[in-house]
Amino acid sequence: MSAIINVSLRVDKLPKEKFVSGKDGAVYYNFTIGVNDDVNAYGQNVSLTDSQTQEEREAKKAKFYLGNGTVVWTDGNIKTAPKKEKATAAEVASDLPF
């Protein structure tokens, strides 16, 4: 583990139209966590925003802030996760048991 982050989320600000139903029947909400090098006037350096689609990012739509927080511990070694390659339809079909 390379970091622990505490975040306060304003649940009442979550746009209901952005909730997503999962295959497992659970309800999900996608958001983005940003960690800044500097702290603000309240000693916070983490922001929580509504996830944007590629179209929203390209259109430079303003971020919708949902909350903020602080990094409370780090070993100084945060790494990026490897990106998953999207499977082609043929690859998905080849995994089917029938």
Distances (CA, A) of 8 to 59, 91, 94: 28, 41, 44
Mean pLDDT score, 72-85: 84
pLDDT digits (tens, 9 = 90+) for 43-58: 999 999 999 989 999 9
pLDDT at 90: 56
CB 34 within 8 A of CB 46: yes
Share of the chain above pLDDT 70, in %: 86
Query: Does 89 score more than 60 pLDDT?
Result: no
Verdict on whether the full-model pTM lies above 0.75: no
